[in-house]
Amino acid sequence: MAISLASLHRSGAPQPPRLLVYGVAGVGKTKLATDAPAPVFLQTEDGLGKLGAATFGVLRSYADVQDALDVLLEQPHDFQTVVVDSLDWLEPLIWRETAARNKWTDIEQPGYGKGYAAALDTWRGFLDGMTLLRDDRGMAVILIAHADIKRFDSPETEPYDRYQPKLHSRAAALVQEHVDAVLFANYRVSTIKSDAGFGKKVVRGVSGGDRLLHTIERPAFLAKNRFGLEESIDLNWAELAAGIPYYAASADPNTNSGA
């Protein structure tokens, strides 16, 4: 690319967001994505159910995923959001693709974690495709993943368990660096103590059914955001979009689109 003063742009201009939304089963991650503007789904699992959304169907190989990305990059369409559902079902496709490229029987063959390290190159190719959709086609990106409870080795405290995306640790770190927000979806849980007799108390978790989207990291879960979102918000698209500058600017009638 030729560099000139004409190629300068203001870095602070709002861009379509790249979001990683992960959470417990059935909390409503996919429903949240269907409420985003004009979504199209890259499904690696059959998670849409009765939710109405445009989809290529279940993509059963990494080549299928790449073909779908190429279509969205090259062909005319009016989609505004690309949704990958889900990353943890995409990961085995990436492992098989990486093994095939290296003529391995499977991702474990090279040993000592070398296969998973090599898979990061395939992950980078996928994430680069997501960025091209944002930069060249103006599409927002929503990556959906399930949650897993994993041990976290903190340098400051004793190890403890917390919710994290259900991905290999190296891939999870790469995806987290790539996105603008890592959002953890869960039910609101409170605890109550009840008398178990003989002076003993039993603590039980109780859910009232409210669903929350957590945006800032806490010991119990991984999260981050670059938008200054409130620590926890209701799990619905309208409230999430209101805190993202790209959508807030487009909704502001005083915004000058030609500026």
Is the pLDDT score of 258 beyond 60?
no
pLDDT band at 131 (very low <50, low <70, confident <90, very high): very high
Question: Residue 190: pLDDT above 70?
Answer: no
Strands (E), 124-236: 140-152, 160-165, 181-197, 200-214, 224-225, 232-234
Q: Which two tokens stand for residue 37?
A: 């503007």
* pLDDT for residue 170: 95
Q: What's the chain's length in residues?
A: 259
Q: What is the predicted pLDDT for the residue at 251?
A: 61
The yes-or-no verdict on residue 108 having pLDDT over 70 is: yes
Q: State residue 50's pLDDT score.
A: 81
**For residue range 195-234, what is the model confidence (pLDDT) as tens digits?**
445 555 443 444 467 899 999 999 999 999 999 999 999 9
Note the pTM of the prediction, 2 decimals. Answer: 0.87
Q: Which domains does the chain have, with CATH numbers?
A: 16-185+215-250 (3.40.50)
232-234 and 81-85: which strand pairing?
unpaired
pLDDT tens string 4-25: 776 666 666 789 999 999 999 9
- Strand pairing report for 54-58 and 160-165: unpaired
Question: Average pLDDT, stretch 48-62?
Answer: 91
**What is the pLDDT, as a whole number, of residue 199?**
54
Do residues 41 and 83 lie in contact, with contact meaning Cβ atoms separated by under 8 Å?
yes
